[in-house]
């Protein structure tokens, strides 16, 4: 019974962890499918990838670059992204691949934001090592704009909903799902100094979603601005509690086991007649040992 309980808790904890990882899992799948677009790729040319059928609605593309060329020349236009000179990657690689993601109607699925409405799809810009173009599960390279920021020019913004309670804001999510809001410039531009996922949002009670034609999942739970980060925190807290309970159960089990072992030993000792030694303390102790098989006898009675 106890084992079943522990397994259930463990699976619960693992489920929670898996949920918070889904945006990273999506990145991994899209990296794989974007790389598949490369068939004898030329450097500095953008190739459009085809995402798996179960993710249709998402656009991906990839561009292979020499690290040195990225630093000295940037990329004039990579869909909505304008990459200036001075971008460096960490750790250093000789050639890298920039993967572009447009999550389209999947934006709310992978980057749910309660209290906000997306005015544009979530766009991703991630860099990977280009050493092996058939590689999967590659780690994301950190890219950093060391001079000018990377510019994101959103093409078509949705209409601001009537119940909006703020001006449009740029939203960015780093790879840990931590969100940051900054000002929109020139009506439709956002800036970033690093890789991540980006969009434009307005604060809203969320009664009239505009971005996604099919009805999005409920976004009424939780407070404002606790999207993926909230998910991670809830996940960690739930995981922590589950672990604590697990630990407590384990301690209880060990304690009970020890107690039982001790009692077992005492019983055994009693059976073996060792309990007799206790009866030597005095006359008053003698009845305590009457339950043992060999009846206790006081030493004094042996004296002839």
Ligand X SMILES: *[C@@H]1O[C@H](CO)[C@@H](O)[C@H](O)[C@H]1NC(C)=O
What does the per-residue mask of binding to ligand X show for 159-178, with x meaning CB under 6 A?
A: ----x-x-------------
Give min distance, CB of 46 to ligand X, in A. Answer: 22
Piece in contact with ligand X (CB under 6 A), picked from 48-56, 88-96, 251-259, 291-299: 48-56
User: What is the 3-class SS of 50-75, one letter each residue?
Assistant: CCCHHHECEEEEEEEEEHHHHHHHCE
50 binds ligand X (CB under 6 A): no
Cα–Cα distance between 289 and 273 in angstroms, integer?
9
180 binds ligand X (CB under 6 A): yes
CA 276 to chain centre: 63
Nearest to 16 by CA among 206, 199, 186, 239: 239
142 binds ligand X (CB under 6 A): no
What does the per-residue mask of binding to ligand X show for 55-94, with x meaning CB under 6 A?
A: -xx-------------------------------------
How many residues of this chain interact with ligand X, rule: CB under 6 A?
16
Give min distance, CB of 37 to ligand X, in A. Answer: 16
**184 to 223, contacts with ligand X by CB under 6 A?**
205, 207, 214
Piece in contact with ligand X (CB under 6 A), picked from 105-113, 257-265, 269-277, 292-300: 105-113
**10 to 29, contacts with ligand X by CB under 6 A?**
29
123-129 vs 150-153, strand pairing mode: unpaired
Name the token pair of 192.
């970033």
What does the per-residue mask of binding to ligand X show for 28-47, with x meaning CB under 6 A?
A: -x------------------
Give min distance, CB of 107 to ligand X, in A. Answer: 9
Report the sign of the C-alpha dihedral through residues 248, 250, 253, 258, in that order: negative
Name the token pair of 38.
């490369």
Give min distance, CB of 266 to ligand X, in A. Answer: 57
Please say which residue, 129 or 192, places its beta carbon nearer to ligand X: 192
Give min distance, CB of 199 to ligand X, in A. Answer: 15
A 10 A CB-CB count for 244 gives 10
CA 262 to chain centre: 45
> Which residues, in sequence order, are CB contacts of 87 under 8 Å at separation 6+?
70, 71, 74, 143, 144, 145, 146, 150
Closest residue to ligand X, judged by C-beta, is 57
Give min distance, CB of 203 to ligand X, in A. Answer: 8
Give min distance, CB of 3 to ligand X, in A. Answer: 30
Q: Which helix (H) or strand (E) holds 125?
A: strand 123-129
Among 13, 35, 106, 198, binds ligand X (CB under 6 A): 106
- What is the crossing angle of helices 2-20 and 22-35, to 10°? 60
Please say which residue, 61 or 205, places its beta carbon nearer to ligand X: 205
> 3-state DSSP: the chain helix, strand, coil percent, rounded to 5?
35, 25, 40
Q: Which residues bind ligand X (CB under 6 A)?
A: 29, 52, 54, 56-57, 105-106, 109, 163, 165, 180, 182-183, 205, 207, 214
């Amino acid at each position: 019974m106890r084992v079943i309980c522990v397994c259930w808790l463990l699976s619960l904890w693992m489920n929670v962890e898996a949920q918070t990882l889904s945006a990273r899992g999506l990145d991994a799948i899209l990296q794989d499918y974007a790389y598949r677009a490369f068939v004898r790729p030329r450097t500095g040319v953008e190739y459009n990838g085809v995402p798996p059928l179960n993710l249709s609605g998402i656009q991906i593309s990839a561009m292979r670059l020499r690290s040195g060329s990225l630093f000295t020349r940037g990329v004039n236009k990579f869909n909505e992204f304008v990459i200036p000179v001075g971008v460096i990657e960490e750790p250093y690689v000789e050639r890298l691949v920039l993967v572009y993601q447009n999550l389209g109607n999947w934006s709310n699925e992978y980057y749910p934001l309660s209290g906000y409405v997306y005015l544009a799809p979530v766009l991703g810009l991630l860099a990977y090592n280009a050493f092996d173009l058939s590689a999967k599960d590659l780690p994301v390279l950190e890219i950093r704009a060391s001079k000018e920021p990377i510019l994101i020019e959103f093409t078509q913004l949705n209409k601001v909903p009537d119940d909006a309670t703020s001006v449009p804001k740029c939203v960015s999510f780093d790879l840990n799902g931590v969100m940051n809001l900054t000002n929109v410039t020139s009506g439709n531009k956002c800036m970033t100094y690093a890789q991540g996922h980006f969009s434009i949002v307005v604060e809203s009670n969320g009664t009239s979603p505009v971005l996604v034609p099919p009805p999005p999942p409920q976004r009424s739970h939780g407070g404002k601005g606790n999207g993926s980060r909230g998910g991670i925190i809830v996940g960690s807290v739930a995981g922590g509690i589950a672990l604590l309970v697990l630990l407590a159960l384990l301690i209880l089990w060990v304690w009970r086991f020890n107690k039982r072992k001790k009692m077992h030993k005492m019983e055994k000792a009693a059976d073996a007649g060792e309990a007799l030694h206790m009866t030597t303390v005095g006359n008053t102790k003698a009845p305590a040992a009457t339950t043992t098989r060999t009846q206790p006898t006081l030493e004094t009675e042996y004296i002839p």
